[in-house]
Structure 1
């Protein structure tokens, strides 16, 4: 006679990519008692696809690309299988046109050499960060090292003053790009590869024209509707030897045999002391303290007519000076530039990171739109650019369930330490 094993109750906290992927894995494996609790009124977490701008295609307030479009990448596999990659386009920053504050474009010859210098310095920074720790026990950040290395490289460039000055401006723009690519001010970031760390496959960054939400929706197809509850912010997880009890802000209580926590790093950093009863093991608290959630935001501008197309596909602001003495007055100097969204004619996307990205969230869309339009007029040398008809801005730093963009290592972190956070707590059974 066969013995039927009792199906465990599994509660997943968070309906972002991690939470939904976990639920789909469990459902595919035959687990029937799976429940996802999501604090927000939508699924996706930092994937947030919305309709904005001209044309039928959406825009992304959050995750923007698939990094590494190869079959090694599970996200790429899904996107390709469901036909989400057409029209196909790989992001290429080398194609950006670098414009000075007087509206003059910096020559491609200078930009090409500047890219070579910047990439060489970036490789040197990565190596130095590792060597300093291994040989001297020192943990250092990108800055001021990257600035010192760029200055040394510039001293070796044999050219006239105007060439050097334009290269300095181009390198300032590339540094702004580095800020949003790495996720924050370079004084706060240190990166060290670890053998257990996820490595991005080769192939560049590919867009999903119809939106990242297609991936999320595909994963949700086989998850029963009853397995998802929105507007259920978990405020307390009480564990005992027998059961785990989950309480939400609206007064609901759920019981589980296993809990999978997929909340953002920012949320866990802020709430772990009150969220978990008893508290987390010290090893996990130490990792949360060492991890930082970066600050990156996006600015979308919709106009009544094309602003960059067909002349430009992407412009970078080659500032005379990117130093910020007062973030309230100079925040816009952290804007890297604007991209022509390739599925639209009249809609632009700007990128901003660091202190300025967080401060920008205190401003209204209208204020942000006016300042960005003035910047476009200046750098494009065209005072006739009209005001945008609509402005959309991401505000990840103040999103109460996210509190940032994407994580980076801090000076306190030991390489590979983040793996501790994913280790299960077995008494009773939690997984991160």
Structure 2
């Protein structure tokens, strides 16, 4: 196939997040000229969203580079653009491997006491051991339970029977393990670990390196990447209504030319294309797949979209006049003493939503952030929180912190909360492999349309985004790699000679 023909091809990318920008950069560097990004909102970055909170910069969306090492393309780009501090880029930092988990420290109980390291260390180790075991079932043909949550709770019950502690200590240990399950819900972006499939859980891979942040904000990377693209490439505030494919549309500027795809925008604009890369979040796709793609998606793809998990993980930023935590504290964990993972209780979300917060991370260093904490909350409680006013959330947080510290005078100066579930173009935070779902569902979602490779007009609609990466779903590096993957698919399509294609298919 003539490479010049590829360069003249019209390519539309829906969504100006990490995957869409990544795809556009790779294509433009290969010489593709007719590329357009259509973005529903007024900004680039998608779920990377930096804002100001008082006098400091905070991340409403993506927070860390997970696994900042040579294998992480987001880390490499951040280094190239000089966006990280020397500690994050150090060889020592890149060599550390914490398998995606922060250190457990500073445990406060709901009776206003601080738990001893002797108690918390053994329980933390037990939980991490069981979590490691839950990731091994991807290597086996059988799974003892459908979900990660069920597996963990059954294993916890076995261990609890053998504990020799007094009743109060046992109660505290179980409450600690409940907190760790809430933390895991935040990692997975799910309401409950009972919704996360056990067999596929180990498919998610972590990279070495101690997670790091951007001193100037994550959006600094988006800004740097956007500078590599033509200024007029993005059409902002332009939601897409429908992607019409497998047809023959005439271009307005070149009526003699026909295109197999046409992107119809909500404002009535139509954009003809040879190829469209859809990078919308899975949450949006779950809500709109019936109308977003026409003709309708094949059933295999629909079922996989429905089976895959997509949940909400929100943040609550709190600023204080003075810290009530130790200078070296990184995480404050909240232990509700009346909770146990062994009781199947459905809490009143409206009344007790704040109990779903596993704890707070301390924004470091204080010279940059002042005295700011970030609370983390996932699931239905997180979604309910979005319906509350800042004053209501602030009052609840004040009550919780006073209860756990035993200090009745602590009051946050101001708060800021994220609202990813009610964002119409995300409908949540990120994806997970749900019960009844497997890696093959991600493969199904990725498959370009039309599904038949022999079609005379192949690769009409392609799919990218964090939810389409087999082992790095839910991450920015997964999103970036997925955008590169689809750009490479088009590049290969136009650079591979018919003879090479023929020889390759004859070997399958």
TM-score (norm 1): 0.91
Q: In the alignment, which residue of structure 2 is the partner of 1:262? A: 279
Q: In the alignment, which residue of structure 2 is the partner of 1:403? A: 427
- Aligned to 2:197, which of 170, 190, 203? 190
Please give the secondary structure, in 2, of the residue aligned with 1:396: coil
Please give the secondary structure, in 2, of the residue aligned with 1:94: coil
- Aligned to 1:135, which of 135, 142, 152? 142
Map residues 45-64 of structure 1 onto 2, 5 A cutoff: 45-55=46-56, 58-64=57-63
Q: Please say if 1:359 is aligned against 2:384.
A: yes
Q: In the alignment, which residue of structure 2 is the partner of 1:297? A: 314
- Deviation at residue 199 of structure 1 after TM alignment: 2.8
**Alpha-carbon contact 1:324-1:333 (below 8 Å) kept:** no
- Deviation at residue 38 of structure 1 after TM alignment: 0.5
- 1:214-269: CA deviation from partner (whole Å, max 9, x where unpaired): 22122111101100111010011112144211111122111111100001101111
- Deviation at residue 3 of structure 1 after TM alignment: 10
- Deviation at residue 300 of structure 1 after TM alignment: 0.7
- Deviation at residue 67 of structure 1 after TM alignment: 1.4
Q: Please say if 1:107 is aligned against 2:116.
A: yes
Q: 2 CA distance for matches of 1:92 and 1:141?
A: 20
Q: In the alignment, which residue of structure 2 is the partner of 1:424? A: 448
> Cα distance 1:25–1:375, how it changes in 2: closer, same or farther (>3 A)?
same
- Aligned to 1:286, which of 280, 285, 303? 303
Map residues 271-282 of structure 1 onto 2, 5 A cutoff: 271-282=288-299
Deviates more, 1:157-166 or 1:76-85: 157-166
- Aligned to 2:103, which of 72, 85, 94? 94
**Alpha-carbon contact 2:198-2:435 (below 8 Å) kept:** no
- 1:68-111: CA deviation from partner (whole Å, max 9, x where unpaired): 11101101111122222216467973252001112211111111
How much is the aligned-residue C-alpha RMSD, in angstroms? Answer: 2.4
> Cα distance 1:95–1:208, how it changes in 2: closer, same or farther (>3 A)?
farther
Map residues 5-404 of structure 1 onto 2, 5 A cutoff: 5=5, 7-55=8-56, 58-86=57-85, 88=87, 93-127=102-136, 131=140, 134-135=141-142, 140-184=146-190, 185-193=192-200, 199-239=205-245, 240-241=247-248, 242-243=258-259, 244-310=261-327, 312-322=329-339, 324-343=346-365, 344-386=369-411, 388-404=412-428
Deviates more, 1:177-186 or 1:409-418: 409-418
Q: 2 CA distance for matches of 1:406 and 1:28?
A: 29
- 1:368-395: CA deviation from partner (whole Å, max 9, x where unpaired): 1110111111111111112x33211111
> Cα distance 1:176–1:198, how it changes in 2: closer, same or farther (>3 A)?
closer
Q: 2 CA distance for matches of 1:312 and 1:295?
A: 26
Q: 2 CA distance for matches of 1:95 and 1:87?
A: 25
Q: 2 CA distance for matches of 1:198 and 1:385?
A: 40
Q: 2 CA distance for matches of 1:199 and 1:4?
A: 38
**Alpha-carbon contact 1:194-1:415 (below 8 Å) kept:** no
Q: 1 CA distance for matches of 2:232 and 2:328?
A: 50
Q: 2 CA distance for matches of 1:150 and 1:220?
A: 48
**Alpha-carbon contact 1:87-1:209 (below 8 Å) kept:** no
Please give the secondary structure, in 1, of the residue aligned with 2:212: strand
**Alpha-carbon contact 2:134-2:201 (below 8 Å) kept:** no
- Deviation at residue 420 of structure 1 after TM alignment: 2.0
TM-score (norm 2): 0.78
Deviates more, 1:302-311 or 1:203-212: 302-311
Count of equivalent residues: 424
> Cα distance 1:41–1:309, how it changes in 2: closer, same or farther (>3 A)?
farther
Q: 1 CA distance for matches of 2:214 and 2:160?
A: 38
Please give the secondary structure, in 1, of the residue aligned with 2:142: helix
**Alpha-carbon contact 2:317-2:416 (below 8 Å) kept:** yes
Q: 1 CA distance for matches of 2:72 and 2:436?
A: 30
Which runs of 5 or more structure 2 residues have no equivalent in the other structure? Answer: 94-99, 249-257, 340-344, 451-456, 464-508
> Cα distance 1:416–1:345, how it changes in 2: closer, same or farther (>3 A)?
same
**Alpha-carbon contact 1:23-1:34 (below 8 Å) kept:** yes
**Alpha-carbon contact 1:12-1:260 (below 8 Å) kept:** yes
Deviates more, 1:206-215 or 1:258-267: 206-215
Please give the secondary structure, in 1, of the residue aligned with 2:317: strand
